[in-house]
Chains A and B, each alone.
Chain A
Amino acid sequence: KQEVTQIPAALSVPEGENLVLNCSFTDSAIYNLQWFRQDPGKGLTSLLLIQSSQREQTSGRLNASLDKSSGRSTLYIAASQPGDSATYLCALQTGANNLFFGTGTRLTVIP
């Protein structure tokens, strides 16, 4: 059974700092990995999708990496801003668009 762990559970950083969020998983037989953002009380917004054959994806200040052999992914956020404050969830897609989620990292960027 796929298990997804995200560390840390919560993180506070001063504005402008670069930061890394971690995601680990137990079963490397995945189709892809997605990072989502969730604002309080809201739905999920897809940030980056990495196909199983890829090693990383970039979008603006965000960079996500995938290492299937070690069962790890990281989300790197450069030059953090208060607007980046949210919960970040990683999710693995296995089979027919079914996602396994971690419990998320709650990020607070302090102005």
Chain B
Amino acid sequence: ETGVTQSPTHLIKTRGQQVTLRCSSQSGHNTVSWYQQALGQGPQFIFQYYREEENGRGNFPPRFSGLQFPNYSSELNVNALELDDSALYLCASSSRIPGSENTIYFGEGSWLTVV
């Protein structure tokens, strides 16, 4: 148990729709990152939020957006869904407090299927 919870665990959407995925980070962690893992691939970095601001972004189009809330929980929003967006979406939390470990804790993920 990592303390990182994601919802929903599974969902099916139609091409062109919008989706919101949610993540509650581990207690005390102020940084949340989102990753996309297609079947048979390693996770790919989407973006990171630190203290409610985007702090780094991978090679994903603007229709992938996010939010971080004052309690450090986070949302990933994807607009205009495409078939290739079908993947496992992983949330990871970590702490940027100086002197703390850099271990990153992952949630169980949200499986998104776009049909």
**Interface residue ranges, A against B (CB under 8 Å):** 4, 31-32, 34, 36, 41-46, 49, 51, 89, 91, 93, 95-104
B45 x A99 contact (CB < 8 A): yes
A49 x B48 contact (CB < 8 A): no
A-side contacts of B2, CB under 8 Å = 43, 45
B109 x A49 contact (CB < 8 A): no
Q: Whole-angstrom distance between the alpha carbons of A74 and B38 in the complex?
A: 24
**Interface residue ranges, B against A (CB under 8 Å):** 2, 4, 31, 33, 35, 40-45, 48, 50, 55-56, 58, 88, 90, 92, 94, 96, 101-109, 111
Q: Knowing A42-B109, A103-B42 touch, does A96 contact B96 (C-beta < 8 A)?
A: yes
A-side contacts of B107, CB under 8 Å = 43
Q: Of the candidates A31, A51, A96, A100, which one forms a contact with B50 in the assembled complex, judged by CB atoms under 8 Å apart?
A: A96
B42 x A102 contact (CB < 8 A): yes
A-side contacts of B88, CB under 8 Å = 41
Q: Knowing A42-B108, A43-B109, A49-B101 touch, does A97 contact B33 (C-beta < 8 A)?
A: yes
A-side contacts of B31, CB under 8 Å = 96-97
- Total A-B pairs, Cβ < 8 A: 72
Task: For B9, give the chain A residue with the smallest CB separation.
Answer: A41
B-side contacts of A46, CB under 8 Å = 103-106
Q: Considering residues B41, B43, B109, which has the most beta carbons from chain A within 10 angstroms of its beta carbon? A: B43
Query: How far, in Å, is B7 (CB) from chain A's closest CB?
Result: 13
B-side contacts of A31, CB under 8 Å = 102
A98 x B45 contact (CB < 8 A): yes
